[in-house]
Structure 1
């Protein structure tokens, strides 16, 4: 029911006469690894949450994975750099990470096979244009955060019976994605967060995704999510929820905070760290941060 799955499971395989292997039910690491070993697919399509769980399971086994995969694709949420690098080291094949939307039918911003920069969403797919704008719809410069707008021939005309939503999303030829990005010196686009997930600390924008990427580089952490929370003086600060790898003891909170400080900056570290069994997600694997914001209040 969403474009990434529709393309991977139906449109693209049928277009080239390929066979599709679809896993019914919840995609556990064991279930995925068994299919990769038994069915020998050559392309594996997943979401970042699944790649993180599968790579952690394979690392715990201590043996090379049994597979025939030559390339992987990821979408749904931005793929953390650490996950991509660990996967490629183990599987000896790349994960092509991109961003798309059901409104645009599929992926319009992507890395390319042989030209991967983990931690970025790559460049515009041929046939599409993207731009980053501020709150006044003015283009922002290199290294500045802005909302991602896209235009291309596959854009929807609107939402069914949702006129107000259609008018705020589809503006002329451009479609608002609701994602915040910045463009680096190489021209690649780096995901910062959803428009309603970004927040300022000490007057400076904080990208929850950047903090989350750093947290999962800490030994023993499988997943992380960061949201805004008000402190005792009603000032907004980052709060983190982390999921640990199996068999790992709870990390020292101060050590974790210092790790983030050293990696990305003094004001970005989480003031609160909560260890949870799992993170709330949508059916497409996206973290439901609104639920975590409620839990953090």
Structure 2
């Protein structure tokens, strides 16, 4: 019996005076963070939240995220972190699909009205009974008057700590059930992987969204496990990030490739980076492959080799990483982390031959993963779970090959997935929405290369002219109102027909 929240409780007992979180002018010690999480737990219990219930939350990278996250866990409930860019229609779907009985949301800003979307969604939701809106000022938090003591509920290791929504090629998002043991072990192994030490704690810059598993595990939970300091940046900006790296003497940075590209551009544009290289110890990347020139330029500028890794929401997320202290192997996602197994499989789950071909690699196969990081299944989707997990092996949908040293190299992602600015976008969800427009007859969504975002979202559309003329701008605006900012297509191309197979499947590779 344990609880992922014990990471915070234990560190608060050992290092209560250490700074846990810094954001703007706000500083919270571990003791203050733990007490605030206890207050959230007491507030949730007052709202009739019980162990095993689901509680959704929507916050950018602010201290409130961590406070609410651990407050939910302390009650024995499951955290359902939602992307802050979701529209009210999308939020309502997540609330009902997860059976969330309560929803804690940041009030937002004029640019991003999270609270307004949360209010609309909670009214539309059938499962959500309580909405708690949290202001920016912590002194006015809705839990401010609650007691600061709370006995964390012990749960079975197999209990679900986090229900993390991930889109799939089959359409609408589905929730990956991550156990307390999944999240705890992945956080601790990640910290060990990067040589983190509780006696000489790192200072992390948190620019990865905490509502994603990468930010939760590699930054938040790993840092808290060892009493490290987390400097939060609510919205990534390269110049601001470099300034924070200098003033806070950041030792640990994690980001997606577009962030590294932006940091290098900011440095080239004359931003003062003196002092950054003196302190930076670890730089890690995930999401998509880093070009060789980014590796070289970052090392030349900051004196640190970027470590690249691989993972998925369903694997808590870290599955493999390049090796600390070794030179980068461009295009590689590294080797399996301790305790995790990886193999390459065929469509029928049979293993790809280990033989190394003349090009220095095995044959291409789909990556399968087994270990303490693998989810227990998709929430209320037994068929999808059976399709994804066999004999404790999880098939990722990503194609790769392996070299003679056991390093893996991604050669293609899940068949249709687009990665835009580090966010996973699955075309089918967008296609299904666009097809509800009366003037759309048929649509295919594809990703095309983009200099700063990695990929951009393009929709190729066959119009239904019986419903009047439809312009590209009108359809973009229509989609923008219904999809998160990272999802809606920026470019619409109208065509008379789409290329198809004899069975009626759209040939996206010809688009």
What TM bracket, shorter-length normalisation? 0.5 to 0.7
Residue 56 of structure 1, CA deviation? 2.2
Matches within 5 A, 1:11-160: 11-24=221-234, 26-61=235-270, 65-67=274-276, 68-115=279-326, 116-141=328-353, 142=356, 143=361, 144-160=363-379
Residue 294 of structure 1, CA deviation? 7.0
Tell me the TM-score normalised to structure 1 length: 0.65
8 Å contact from structure 1 (residues 78, 99) kept in 2: no
1:242 to 2:450 alignment? yes
8 Å contact from structure 1 (residues 9, 22) kept in 2: no
- The DSSP-based 3-state class of the residue aligned with 1:93 is coil
Whole-Å separation in 1 of the counterparts to 2:331 and 2:490: 24
- The DSSP-based 3-state class of the residue aligned with 1:84 is helix
8 Å contact from structure 2 (residues 251, 281) kept in 1: yes
Whole-Å separation in 1 of the counterparts to 2:379 and 2:295: 37
Residue 36 of structure 1, CA deviation? 0.9
Whole-Å separation in 2 of the counterparts to 1:106 and 1:38: 30
| Structure 1 pair 99–294 and aligned structure 2 pair: CA distance change class (3 A) | farther
1:195 aligned partner: 414
- The DSSP-based 3-state class of the residue aligned with 2:339 is coil
| Structure 1 pair 179–243 and aligned structure 2 pair: CA distance change class (3 A) | same
Whole-Å separation in 2 of the counterparts to 1:103 and 1:294: 32
1:27-73 CA-partner distances (Å, limit 9, x unpaired): 02112111111211111111111111111221332865531211111
Whole-Å separation in 2 of the counterparts to 1:197 and 1:294: 18
1:270 aligned partner: none
8 Å contact from structure 1 (residues 58, 65) kept in 2: no
Whole-Å separation in 2 of the counterparts to 1:168 and 1:108: 20
| Structure 1 pair 161–244 and aligned structure 2 pair: CA distance change class (3 A) | closer
| Structure 1 pair 122–157 and aligned structure 2 pair: CA distance change class (3 A) | same
Whole-Å separation in 2 of the counterparts to 1:130 and 1:39: 37
Whole-Å separation in 1 of the counterparts to 2:312 and 2:447: 28
| Unaligned stretches of 5+ residues in structure 1 | 199-207, 210-222, 224-237, 246-281
Residue 292 of structure 1, CA deviation? 8.3
Tell me the TM-score normalised to structure 2 length: 0.39
8 Å contact from structure 1 (residues 134, 146) kept in 2: yes
8 Å contact from structure 1 (residues 4, 76) kept in 2: no
Whole-Å separation in 2 of the counterparts to 1:244 and 1:156: 32
1:144-193 CA-partner distances (Å, limit 9, x unpaired): 22110000022211111122221211222101112111112332111112
Which has the larger Rg?
A: 2
8 Å contact from structure 2 (residues 367, 398) kept in 1: yes
8 Å contact from structure 2 (residues 345, 368) kept in 1: yes
Pick which of 73-82 and 48-57 moved more: 73-82
1:185 aligned partner: 404
Residue 80 of structure 1, CA deviation? 2.8
Q: Tell me how large the CA RMSD over aligned residues is.
A: 3.4
1:102-156 CA-partner distances (Å, limit 9, x unpaired): 2121312110211232321111111111001122333224432211000002221
1:231-272 CA-partner distances (Å, limit 9, x unpaired): xxxxxxx99533279xxxxxxxxxxxxxxxxxxxxxxxxxxx
| Structure 1 pair 91–193 and aligned structure 2 pair: CA distance change class (3 A) | same
Whole-Å separation in 2 of the counterparts to 1:165 and 1:64: 48
- The DSSP-based 3-state class of the residue aligned with 2:265 is helix
8 Å contact from structure 2 (residues 344, 400) kept in 1: yes
Whole-Å separation in 1 of the counterparts to 2:313 and 2:450: 29
